[in-house]
Structure 1
């Protein structure tokens, strides 16, 4: 399970949404689409992070045969903070806050455009 007291994910790679496993596709709600798909390093286990049209899905591989899924609906967040740079040498960060898990952070080293993710979360929070 995810320890939300140390919930920082460092994105290492962006993947094509066509590469999403069928087990994850089957968990999507009606009319929910995966918008962004990333691989993250999170000691001690790797994770996949999916930003969908409605929520964040985190798949952690403590045991490759039995992944753990965590679902974070955008509508449950109360605030978010973004550092988005167009400079490849600088990191980008997304921090999300809610009453239940306090804060969850995503670090995007390199040149990532977070505008679509920001728009999805902003629309859900209001």
Structure 2
């Protein structure tokens, strides 16, 4: 699960049993570059790559039904 706020995005990874959760807070102010890849015919997942200063590359994958263009525009409005 990924939550987008006005200052950061929060990625939540749930373990296999559902009891263990990992919360990662990624502030927009640390994003140096980003890339948006839409879903295609054979590749059904859309991808958002973010490069953070001091952290490196983070890849987020979305199901084909996600509106990745709007997500990219939102990221751009906070980063640029």
TM range (shorter): 0.7 to 0.9
User: Where do 4+ consecutive residues of structure 1 move more than 4 Å?
Assistant: 86-89
Q: CA deviation at 1:89?
A: 5.6
**Residue in 2 aligned with 1:57?**
10
Q: Within the alignment, does 1:74 sit opposite 2:28 as a pair?
A: yes
Contact 2:9 2:27 in 1 (8 A): yes
Structure 2 vs 1, CA of residues 88 and 76 (structure 1 numbering), >3 Å: closer, same or farther? same
**Structure 1 runs not aligned, ≥5 long:** 1-47
Q: 1:121 to 1:95 in 2, by over 3 A?
A: same
Give the total of aligned pairs: 78
Equivalents in 1 of 2:23, 2:58: separation in Å?
Answer: 15
Q: Secondary structure at the match of 2:26?
A: strand
Match of 2:57 in 1: 103
Contact 1:86 1:112 in 2 (8 A): no
Give unmatched runs, 5+ long, in structure 2: none
Q: Return the TM-score normalized by structure 2.
A: 0.73
